[in-house]
Amino acid sequence: MAKINGGIIGPNNPTGPFSAGGVWRLEDAFNAQKAGTWPLVLGYQIPNSLRFNSGSSDNLERTFSAPTSGTTWIINFWVKKSSNGSAINLCSRLVDGSNEDRIRFTSGDALEWSVYKAGSYAGQLVTTQLFRDNSAWYNILCVWDTTNATAGNRMRMYVNGSEITAFSTDTNPAQNTTSLFNASGSNHRIGSVTSGEYFNGYMSEIILVDGQALTPSSFGETDEDTGIWIPKAYTGSFGTNGFYLEFKDSSALGDDTSGNGNDFTVNNLTSIDQTTDTPTNNFATLNPLVNYQAYPPVLTEGNLKNTSNANASNGGTSPSTIVVSQGKWYAEMKVGADKQDGTALGIVTDSYRFDYQNDAAFYTSASFSSVAYVGDGRKVISNTFSSYGATFTTNDIIGIAVDLDNDTVTFYKNGVSQGVISTTLTGGYFICCYGYNGSVQEMNFGNPPFTISSGNADANGFGNFEYAVPSGYYALCTKNLALYG
């Protein structure tokens, strides 16, 4: 099993190059391991997640029935954050200002689970651990069991299979206290409270089990070779209010597939928000922790939409969360609000992460190895500009094919190659976009934040691109990294 910044991988590609009759064999795994430096393990796969954007007030809601038990239940889910520094809600029920349950990340990026009844906390856990990795998938399990005779075991939180025991606030509920979440009534939400704290990021495999106090082993396991926590299929019962949200039907994102029919109402989420960025195949996004801090952009839509700072003379570069040092990789960028010479797509060496606060990478310094295609048609190699291809503007889709094995970068405008650029590429590189003066770039590493009119995957079946992926190039995701990275 391989890990990237807390994310996990595990290919499940029955039509790919290492398959035989739709079944992965041991020799397939061995050959795949030889193909790259990323270990590979086969097992349970999660195909979909749901992308939430706070600016769109995205959330799911449901009115619950009388529970199997108000004193015993669990909720388990996987989450990949897209923002830090503000309170973002994961699951909640708000009855009124004096009565609410919520599981959220606080403005300080701690994980909080609180049960607020009649104007005071019946139970509250706030972790000392902080969660600030925007490239990682976290598995969170919350267990409510107030029948337990031990006070410290009535509210329990686990992250990636390990119980959290260090809290800045640790208030235990009284025995047999009933919760507001998983109780009869409305305003059960995923991704917000009733009208605020909207979540930014991705959620996957959301499971509520009503009437049982389960442990992490029901939902995941530790890979014996790597020690990494990986998901496994839940095979138990769900109870009256239990549900299983897989997000596998893009036309019915709130469908409960537990068999209970406890579907959620979908608010402001559409089919484009169904993604294949999951705990078992972690795709690159733009990294909010590494961008030009003098004029930082605003990242939205799961850190795939880059709205540059409105400063008229300065801009910044937003790099991918994944760095690659070998192999062949493809991505696309849709041009939004355009400033022509202030919009660019390219690559920059991973040393950029050490000086991103002071440098816009493509334009202001030759200290970084970089290659970019600018909206005015020029190319720029380590801050040296020269003529290259056609100009591009709003709604054009620019492709980039990076060949780190043969030291070439090729850019495409609406599927048409603008020519091969040969240069020396040594070390690791980010794929990144640049903008200034309010220009907008929408990045597609395989899970587009914009509508695709055609639909093209790479040769392994990964990604969803507007134009055909060049032969031999792959989407920037951890399953492909296991084979070629």
- For 156-211, what is each residue's pLDDT tens digit? 999 999 999 999 999 999 999 999 999 999 999 999 987 789 999 999 999 999 99
Quote the pLDDT of residue 25: 31
| Model confidence band, residue 350 (pLDDT cutoffs 50, 70, 90) | confident
Q: What average pLDDT does this structure show over 257-278?
A: 97
Q: Taking 90 as the threshold, does the pLDDT of residue 234 lie above it?
A: yes
Of residues 195 and 413, the one with the higher pLDDT is 413
Q: Taking 60 as the threshold, does the pLDDT of residue 38 lie above it?
A: no
Query: 139-153, 221-235, 236-250: which has the minimum mean pLDDT?
Result: 221-235
Domains and CATH numbers, the chain: 3-35 (no CATH), 49-275 (2.60.120.200), 298-484 (2.60.120.920)
Query: 15-24, 63-72, 111-120, 334-343: which has the minimum mean pLDDT?
Result: 15-24
Q: Taking 80 as the threshold, does the pLDDT of residue 2 lie above it?
A: no
Quote the pLDDT of residue 21: 30
Quote the pLDDT of residue 362: 60
Query: 58-72, 279-293, 443-457: which has the minimum mean pLDDT?
Result: 279-293
Angle, CA 36 vertex, CA 41 and CA 20 arms, to 5°? 55
Model pLDDT for residues 454-476, shown as the tens digit of each residue: 999 999 999 999 999 999 999 99
* pLDDT over 70, % of the chain: 86
| Model confidence band, residue 36 (pLDDT cutoffs 50, 70, 90) | very low
Query: 35-39, 131-135, 273-277, 279-283: which has the minimum mean pLDDT?
Result: 35-39
Query: 233-242, 248-257, 431-440, 462-471: which has the minimum mean pLDDT?
Result: 431-440
| Model confidence band, residue 13 (pLDDT cutoffs 50, 70, 90) | very low
Q: What average pLDDT does this structure show over 284-308?
A: 87
